[in-house]
Chains A and B, each alone.
Chain A
């Protein structure tokens, strides 16, 4: 059956010219498959969309404030590095399979030896009267998302037509933005193609809990409207629904126009054989535009199966055949775990736990496993997919179900597909970890692309990594390790649902409820995303951040006042000396951060010693901006090239009080002799002849690392601007407890520079920095006068410190009222809304 390749296939130069039409996942995948096999082929990719190929699977990220740039499948440089000519914003309008030429929308003529069509599909828009009005959109492009977002944010009611994977994902995105949304479905249950009735019956209430209404058995006959804008739906049964936004998600329609005009055989899609070849010998088709053995696939996994075979065929490689893919689907909605594999209907085994809302079913036909439905508890789905694929013989389906629920990464065969989005199986991941000595999930994702799509397989990728490396993995990939939620997962929910406190995050995502270990990390995340206009909950903070001192091994605390740039005055030194005497300080020490530490202070003495010192907190106990070390610089030093002391003091003033993912220390030196150790600081400024250098990611602790040169600029103001832009980017994108030295290794200098020096993104970062700084509490020690919780600095057996304030001062610090005569079991909350922007008592001297 495979046609003999055209003998004229090779171009005169020897290198084959291959044209790929399309810029979606299929086009990108086939280009990579070609390049993997042939380093010299001349590949041209034409994509109609005005942007680099991007990951459509992750489209719903755009409903949570993301930008499509973040979804690029590969960075722009990839195409150059791999010798792929990429025409963006061009559409192929004519194709001549006989003359081997093509023409684009702007009139470019392209000659090719082989052509691959990856034109994808459009959303199916049935001819319902009124469907062409404004407010009716699909859920397929960034433009659709912009319309959906604007409507949802304006609080307008929405309807989503179609209760499949796509419709549910769209509805969840709309509900998360706070708008009313109803899923309208034609059939009597959701996702009827992937689920049996039992699983579907559990899914509907789960969606309703997420704020999505579900209407079943509704056939839309008309879309009502006013002035050309949709206002509602009429159903066949006479009922109606008001909606100012209608999202169509009932299916796809392959884009076959170009193929049809070229005379290729077209059915529902472009008809291909087992080599992915169309009816024309040198033209192939892959992805959602292709119809293979009567099937048009609407998911990603088959695409990767197809492109591997297609690349072999195009390059006249070893005979390979594509015989079809098993359909499997995973719902990407946080809080609703659902996987369906192959057939959903039929007999086999089921295990249901109504209370836990879990339902697991296997479908067996003629002794072979042909399908599975897992709802609530999806453990072992990779194993089951592999067994369905290989037509595993089953004697005891219940035993297999039990085996799957116990399956760990180690039990998976090498052939098991781990990442369905990018078609990566376990064997490839293991190989990559061993060959390249990968030590973190992020590295594995970057190298294998497993987990780079929808991201739901990342927990498994990590498990495999742990298994291969015998647990020897050093990373903080999960912010909440108990629920395997990453910082990004949680940040997405905080943004989408406008969460303002750790308790709200716990209520919405379950995060932090189990061991509580991630509460301090969550507290940071909530404060950062809300620009410090969050609701502070002290119980989520470490003791250091509740009493603003570093706890010592004997339970006392240390007191390190801020001394900007390491510069002090005789007056300050006198107050420090007096306080040390008055409070009987065991040890007074000059720290490595160019300031003074008073060690061994009792908790209840903290407010009073701070009052006597009359200096601001140096925040030497927090994940925050710590110190800015300086050298004397041009004020006194004969080598000084600029005012390092003044610059350091200025920068410390701008940054003081800001919390950061991990501690941040700065250094400013007046010349490259580096007396303030700027090269090994998180951010280091070095004066040079005619300007300043800014280094980031330096370290001189457990690790010693010279910082990366972020930029060289003309004056100190530019150096400071670059520093705060970098700092804000780090604040927003680092993992909790990730110091800049590991952060820079993970991110890469160029990637950081690309953002920090991008005019728009840089300006936006600076704006968010200033907003956060304006709402930060510059001196937490002012809480001595206005404590935020009862007995903030005392125990039940010590006196609350008194000097001019009542222990429960301030309206906000209302104690939980409870005068009930019976034992108090659930009491009010000590969660206090404190405004950080206005430390009204400002008499302290700094």
Chain B
């Protein structure tokens, strides 16, 4: 999720498919916020030990996942309580249901996200 071994200039980041979505200060601890990248809604979360990004729409009935409760590396959808693993995107207890997981990179205080498959 969080590549730590790369250190690139902003232009390099952009050319490598990364999109700057804000700064780390934009996200309160253990909360999520939505961003839009190429028309795709992405929920970005600040965890206790880093950040995570997944598709923002719940596979059940499109609940806004950025508004869910975050704990133990999972987010719970605010509409009907599906739990989604922020590392794998899988919906717990609903085999086959999942959301895409995107990459997050923190450059200083800047927060970058790269859509899965955009590398």
Contacts and interface: CB of A to CB of B under 8 A. Distances in A.
Nearest to B63: A555
B69 A796 contact: no
B29 A824 contact: no
Interface residues of B, number: 42
Given A542-B78, A796-B44, A790 B28 contact: yes
B86 to A, nearest CB: 12
Nearest to B44: A796
A829 B35 contact: no
B5 to A, nearest CB: 10
B70 A555 contact: no
B24 A795 contact: no
Contacts of B72: 513-516
Contacts of B24: 816, 818, 824, 827
Contacts of B44: 796
B87 interface: no
B33 A796 contact: yes
A539 interface: yes
The SS class assigned to the A binding surface is loop
A555 B64 CA distance: 6
B15 interface: no
A542 B62 CA distance: 18
B18 interface: no
A480 to B, nearest CB: 11
Interface string A530-541: 000000001110
A794 B36 CA distance: 13
Nearest to B35: A796
B69 A520 contact: yes
A539 B105 contact: no
Interface string A39-67: 00000000000000000000000000000
A815 B25 contact: yes
Given A516-B76, A555-B64, A825-B50, A796 B26 contact: yes
A614 to B, nearest CB: 27
Contacts of A540: 69
B45 to A, nearest CB: 10
Interface residues of A, number: 41
Interface in B69-108: 69-72, 74, 76, 78-79, 83, 105-108
A513 B105 CA distance: 26
Contacts of A820: 108
B27 interface: yes
B22 interface: yes
The SS class assigned to the B binding surface is mixed
A811 interface: no
A816 B21 contact: no
Contacts of B61: 553
B78 A543 contact: yes
Nearest to B64: A555
A519 B27 CA distance: 19
A519 B67 CA distance: 15
Contacts of A791: 26-28, 33
Interface string A549-570: 0010101000000000000000
B119 to A, nearest CB: 17
A225 interface: no
B25 A553 contact: no
A797 B34 contact: yes
Contacts of B74: 515-516
Contacts of A515: 71-72, 74, 76, 83
A485 to B, nearest CB: 15
A81 to B, nearest CB: 45
Interface in A794-846: 794-797, 808, 815-816, 818-831
A3 B46 CA distance: 77
A546 B28 CA distance: 12
A512 interface: yes
A823 B106 contact: yes
Contact of B69 (A519, A797, A825, A829): A519
Contact of A829 (B29, B33, B78): B29
A790 B31 CA distance: 10
B48 interface: yes
A795 B70 contact: no
A359 B29 CA distance: 37
Contacts of A789: 28, 31
Contact of A543 (B62, B68, B106): B68
A466 to B, nearest CB: 18
Nearest to B78: A543
Contact of B67 (A551, A553, A794): A551
B29 A831 contact: yes
A519 B71 contact: yes
Contacts of A823: 2, 4, 50, 105-107
B109 interface: yes
A621 to B, nearest CB: 11
Interface in B25-68: 25-31, 33-36, 44, 46, 48-50, 61-64, 66-68
A517 interface: yes
Nearest to A541: B69
Given A555-B64, A790-B28, A830-B29, A795 B34 contact: yes
A600 to B, nearest CB: 14
A538 B67 CA distance: 12
A368 to B, nearest CB: 44
Contacts of A826: 48-50
Contact of A830 (B31, B76, B106): B31
B2 to A, nearest CB: 6
B28 A539 contact: yes
A174 B24 CA distance: 42
Contacts of A790: 25-28
B19 to A, nearest CB: 11
A349 B10 CA distance: 62
B61 to A, nearest CB: 7
Contact of A539 (B4, B26, B30, B66): B30
A820 B4 CA distance: 14
A541 to B, nearest CB: 8
A540 to B, nearest CB: 8
Contacts of A827: 24, 29, 46
B35 to A, nearest CB: 4
Given A513-B72, A515-B83, A824-B109, A795 B31 contact: no
Contacts of A555: 62-64, 67
A818 B51 CA distance: 14
A794 to B, nearest CB: 8
A543 to B, nearest CB: 4
Contacts of B63: 555
Contacts of A818: 24-25, 109
A211 B4 CA distance: 38
A819 to B, nearest CB: 6
A523 to B, nearest CB: 11
B108 A821 contact: yes
Contacts of B76: 515-517
Contacts of A816: 24-25, 29
Nearest to A826: B49
A813 to B, nearest CB: 10
A225 to B, nearest CB: 50
Task: Give the interface centre of A514, A539, A822 by most chain B CB atoms within 10 Å.
Answer: A539
A550 B107 CA distance: 36
A789 B107 CA distance: 22
A830 B69 contact: no
16 contacts: A515-B83, A516-B71, A516-B76, A517-B71, A539-B70, A540-B69, A546-B67, A551-B67, A555-B67, A796-B35, A796-B44, A815-B25, A823-B4, A826-B50, A830-B31, A831-B29
Given A551-B78, A816-B24, A829-B29, 14 more contacts: A516-B76, A520-B69, A539-B69, A539-B70, A553-B61, A789-B31, A790-B25, A791-B26, A791-B27, A794-B33, A796-B21, A820-B108, A823-B2, A826-B48
Closest 4 CB pairs of A and B: A516-B71, A539-B30, A830-B28, A789-B28
